[in-house]
Structure 1
């Protein structure tokens, strides 16, 4: 008999059955009793009678990222996942990464991973407003951690940048530099981080008596080439713009490259990248970053939270909000100096 057969019989996830058999504290006593009763009925054998632990499922963590256009792994997520993999490996876990389309088949694709039952938990990256994957994992009581939040953030573990303050800080920085014609390169507000950053930008603008108009916004995807073309066209059509806030690292680098090619030093457009790593490339392009910590460090923290959740740490102890700061390209090391005036 297998764990999967027990799960099928009880209409539970394989992960829940595995955790019940291993006496994890986040599984209710009633569920453990059901699982143990069914396991005994099916003749499932104990791994070690002395320890009373059952055979455990594979120690695999699955990271789910949304597939967007032709690019689904941008520079930030790549570095985040590198840190996650390193920390999970040190804790005895393997990391597998899966990209899932965000269309009508999203939940059915995700269900295939959940029902496979060969993982201990899930990491959800780039969460969306009303994210169906979050709802499903909450219902199944499967351990997971989000890099980002949703409207149900109080119910699950998450690590997130204070994106509302990111928006406010980006606009405030530009206003204090004397900019009054500020554009915003956005992405779909179905992503929770984008919605929050936009809200912060608009609130900060209104505080300074500026009401951003529809034509001040450029809506982008995640494909680098298309983003570059859109930024170049936007800047050509709006010559009065002296600064551009970009909600993603892809947008920031594409916009900075467009500025470099389109404008001379007499008409310099300052580019602010929200959560954009200020590495050598970004610094050479003159990007000002609103950042909180190195992406690889973020990944390591996500891994530590995932392991803690698997071991039964309570949800409320695994909710971390990071404060942003302004990092300008003249700093030699991008994470040594911040302007944290908020």
Structure 2
């Protein structure tokens, strides 16, 4: 933030802010206090006792999301980031969110961002199975925390849900309700959470001697409208499916809406939404969700882990698995 922006924030002139920062005697003590408090809140520090020169320290944490998801940031991830931002602000840090292309230019684009030098640390969201950003940050020795894991997660700090158990709970819940024709609405398995949830579903199905045929799997993206169309077409092609396990919150809402609109009252499709906390359950849509920590609480924990990593806390002490609760019935 520049002096001009501080002036705008406080509704003062640029000259007044500048003179207050430089301790001119013609500025009242109350105005100086307001300006200094705002400057301090925005990360400014006095450089040199004699020079009275204020400079802005970095104190910036950058959260990275894949660029193709930036437009479709789901409500859960938004709430996670809101919790992170609030906790970081309390520690006088700023949170900025950047989207990085996951195509051929991903690594060069990411390196350019890292080497710009405007960051104290990074939060990586929606990590992939073999995420090149993780490898690059490890090589550059930059503090970072992942919301999610990769195949080799022993070398860095991370917070993650036990996604294998999420998949198992989902399948077992539906099986115990009597469902035998179950479909799965997935996302790209390059995301580690999706891979683990699928493995959990398949492990539970194998234990139950239940076969889920390949044509009972549907892969969608994070755009809710496109997911709705795909789910509707899927259910029309597979009318005997009685239940769907959706690996994301957005796909659960899309599937529930599609099921309500195309099915008769005598053939309701049960929807299990992985990653759907209690406060996201929609009574009218009848989604069954899996309990987990509130998203903003998760965001705060990510911020606390990021600050601890910056202070040098070992990564082995910053690797946290969140256990999902029992599947909780929706209100259909």
TM-score past 0.5 threshold: yes
Report the Cα distance in structure 2 between the residues aligned to 1:62 and 1:180, rounded to whole angstroms.
Answer: 45
Structure-2 change in CA distance of 1:217 and 1:316 (3 Å): same
Report the Cα distance in structure 2 between the residues aligned to 1:309 and 1:294, rounded to whole angstroms.
Answer: 23
- Alignment-derived partner of residue 108 in structure 1: 108
CA offsets per residue over residues 233-273 of structure 1, 9 Å max, x none? 11111111110000111110000000111113210100001
Report the Cα distance in structure 2 between the residues aligned to 1:313 and 1:254, rounded to whole angstroms.
Answer: 41
CA offsets per residue over residues 284-314 of structure 1, 9 Å max, x none? 3111112311111110110010001101111
Deviation at 1:280, TM superposition (A): 5.6
Deviation at 1:100, TM superposition (A): 1.2
Which has the higher mean CA deviation after the structures are superposed, 140-149 or 104-113?
104-113
- Calculate the TM-score normalised by the size of structure 2: 0.81
Deviation at 1:221, TM superposition (A): 1.1
Pair 1:124 & 2:124 matched:
yes
- Alignment-derived partner of residue 142 in structure 1: 142
- Alignment-derived partner of residue 241 in structure 1: 241
CA contact (8 A) 1:186 1:220 kept: yes
- Calculate the TM-score normalised by the size of structure 1: 0.79
Deviation at 1:152, TM superposition (A): 2.0
- Alignment-derived partner of residue 303 in structure 1: 303
Report the Cα distance in structure 2 between the residues aligned to 1:140 and 1:48, rounded to whole angstroms.
Answer: 31
- Alignment-derived partner of residue 31 in structure 2: none
- Alignment-derived partner of residue 14 in structure 1: none
- Alignment-derived partner of residue 5 in structure 1: none
Deviation at 1:69, TM superposition (A): 5.9
* Structure 2 counterpart SS, 1:169: helix
- Alignment-derived partner of residue 193 in structure 1: 193
- Alignment-derived partner of residue 92 in structure 2: 92
CA contact (8 A) 1:72 1:99 kept: no
Structure-2 change in CA distance of 1:69 and 1:302 (3 Å): closer
Structure exhibiting the larger radius of gyration computed from Cα positions:
2
- Alignment-derived partner of residue 265 in structure 1: 265
- Alignment-derived partner of residue 330 in structure 2: 329
Report the Cα distance in structure 1 between the residues aligned to 2:221 and 2:101, rounded to whole angstroms.
Answer: 14
* Structure 1 counterpart SS, 2:282: helix
Q: What does 1:272-291 correspond to in 2, within 5 Å?
A: 272-279=272-279, 282-291=282-291
Gaps of 5+ in 2: 1-46, 50-54
Gaps of 5+ in 1: 1-46, 50-54, 332-342
- Alignment-derived partner of residue 232 in structure 2: 232
- Alignment-derived partner of residue 153 in structure 2: 153
Deviation at 1:281, TM superposition (A): 5.9
* Structure 1 counterpart SS, 2:115: helix
- Alignment-derived partner of residue 133 in structure 1: 133
Pair 1:317 & 2:317 matched:
yes
Deviation at 1:169, TM superposition (A): 0.5
Report the Cα distance in structure 2 between the residues aligned to 1:84 and 1:295, rounded to whole angstroms.
Answer: 10
- Alignment-derived partner of residue 184 in structure 1: 184
Report the Cα distance in structure 2 between the residues aligned to 1:244 and 1:188, rounded to whole angstroms.
Answer: 17
CA contact (8 A) 2:185 2:245 kept: yes
CA offsets per residue over residues 188-230 of structure 1, 9 Å max, x none? 1100000000000001001001121110101111111110000
Report the Cα distance in structure 2 between the residues aligned to 1:322 and 1:243, rounded to whole angstroms.
Answer: 26
* Structure 2 counterpart SS, 1:266: coil
